[in-house]
Amino acid sequence: MSQLRRAAAMGLVVCCGVTAQAEDGSRSLDSAATAETRSLDSVVGGESVALDAARADPSAPEPLPEIDDDAMRSQAQAARDAVLAAQQRSTQADAAYSKMRSRDHPQGDARAAIVKERNAAREAYAGANARYRELLKQLR
């Protein structure tokens, strides 16, 4: 009977989101006080950051400035379009990865392919975004 009570208590802790603060001041991953989720592996410079901030920046790239030169405007527009395409690819790859993780399916090579695509999409987005930002710096 005590095992049943212990299981019920554990269920309440999980369902209710009860958090405890350790003597060293650390908090659980899900902080009820701030409603902010933190990850142990998303530590940057000794400070933890929210999971959303740890991911690639999902915001739209900044709009093109006024550019008089047609060739430069075309180049900048192509760079911005590349960022948008890479962003969409990354979003779709993240969604496929999340779906895979929530269902714990597929396994083996198919699972590895999803992880590989997610990593490649994130790298493509970061590269396209860096190239676009560098181009904007040159235009200013």
User: Is pLDDT of 54 > 80?
Assistant: no
Token pair recorded at residue 65? 């400035």
Q: How far is 92 from 59, CA to CA, in rounded Å?
A: 15
b/e map of 31-67 (b: 16 or more CB within 10 Å)? eeeeeeebeeebeeeeebeeeeeeebeeeebeebeee
pTM of the model: 0.57
Please report which confidence band the pLDDT of residue 42 belongs to, taking 50, 70 and 90 as the band edges: very low
User: Is pLDDT of 53 > 50?
Assistant: no
80, 62 Cβ separation under 8 angstroms: no
User: Is pLDDT of 35 > 70?
Assistant: no
Whole-number mean pLDDT of the chain? 75
